[in-house]
């Protein structure tokens, strides 16, 4: 494992590894769409970078929407309950929806969103997550497309934060243990 020059953080996935995997995911999603249109729904803010890159790796007629939920407050601890802070702008009834998330962790967020979106009767509903932490799961839910499956590590960068910081790191890095708040 290498170390970034940026703040001396340990890199889990380099920008090149991310780009390679995102390209593969985009090709798979394109294939599965079979020429149909797509609505990509990003979960703010963490998924913004992934959605921007993934969307450009998908060869289809795509539009975007965004939702925001409250999950992690300050630091690494989840509050448990999921709350919708920002709803969809456009109805998704009859649409092919791809929910784009940064990390599938306990599964609480995506279980909540999936239920909410299914009530609107989309034509299809799929989930793409860049990272998956299956060992942390509380709700039984799987993504249709997973970038990387990782053990129980807290990661930052490429959209992912610690107390709103580090989202702009180009690589996915490990949060140093015992980091001061
Ligand atoms: P879940 O509801 O527990 O599945 O968590 C979903 C959200 O928790 C993700 O969208 C992330 O925003 C956040 N999260 C989970 N693990 C990490 C991490 O390692 N780093 C940064 N954010 C995380
Ligand atoms: Mg998130």
Please, how many CA atoms are within 13 Å of residue 39, restricted to the half-sphere of its CB? Answer: 20
Domain range annotation of the chain = 15-152
CB 51 within 8 A of CB 38: no
pLDDT per residue as tens digits for the range 19-76? 999 999 999 999 999 999 999 999 999 999 999 999 999 999 999 999 999 865 545 5
**Digit-coded pLDDT (tens) for 66-91:** 999 986 554 555 557 899 999 999 99
Q: For residue 176, name the pLDDT band (cuts at 50, 70, 90).
A: confident
Is the pLDDT at 112 greater than 70? The verdict is: yes
Are 120 and 150 spatial neighbours (Cβ–Cβ below 8 Å)?
Answer: no
Tokens 């060869």 correspond to what residue? 59
Q: What is the mean pLDDT of residues 141-156?
A: 97
Q: What is the DSSP letter of 178?
A: T
Q: Residue 174 CA: which ligand is closest?
A: 1
For the chain, how many residues are written?
A: 181
132 is annotated as an active-site residue = no
Tokens 């967020």 appear where?
109
Q: Is the pLDDT of residue 181 over 60?
A: no
Beta-strand pair 78-86/62-72 = antiparallel
What is the pLDDT, as a whole number, of residue 79? 58
Q: What is the pLDDT of residue 4?
A: 61
Query: 15-152: what fold?
Result: Rossmann fold (3.40.50)
Q: How far is the CA of 100 from the centre of ligand 2 (A)?
A: 9
pTM: 0.93
- Say if ligand 1 is within 6 A of residue 107 CB: yes
Pair of tokens at residue 87: 């709803």
Cβ of 148 closer than 6 Å to ligand 1, yes or no, is no
- Residue in 53, 65, 102, 105 annotated catalytic: 105
Distances (CA, A) of 41 to 53, 68, 112: 14, 10, 14
């Amino acid at each position: 494992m290498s170390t970034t020059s940026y703040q001396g953080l340990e890199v889990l996935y380099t920008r090149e590894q991310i780009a390679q995997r995102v390209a593969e995911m985009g090709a798979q999603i394109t294939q599965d769409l079979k020429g149909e249109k797509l609505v990509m729904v990003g979960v703010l803010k963490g998924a913004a970078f992934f959605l921007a890159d993934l969307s450009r790796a998908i060869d289809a007629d795509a539009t975007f929407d965004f939702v925001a939920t409250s999950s992690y407050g300050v630091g690494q601890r989840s509050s448990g309950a999921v709350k919708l802070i920002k709803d969809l702008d456009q109805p998704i009834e009859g649409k092919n929806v791809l929910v784009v998330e940064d990390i599938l962790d306990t599964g609480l967020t995506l279980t909540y969103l999936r239920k909410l979106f299914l009530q609107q009767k989309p034509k299809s509903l799929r989930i793409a997550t860049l990272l998956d932490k299956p060992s942390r799961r509380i709700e039984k839910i799987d993504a249709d497309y997973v970038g990387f499956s990782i053990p129980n590590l807290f990661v930052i960068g490429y959209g992912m934060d610690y107390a709103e910081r580090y989202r702009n790191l180009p690589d996915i890095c490990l949060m140093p243990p015992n980091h001061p708040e």
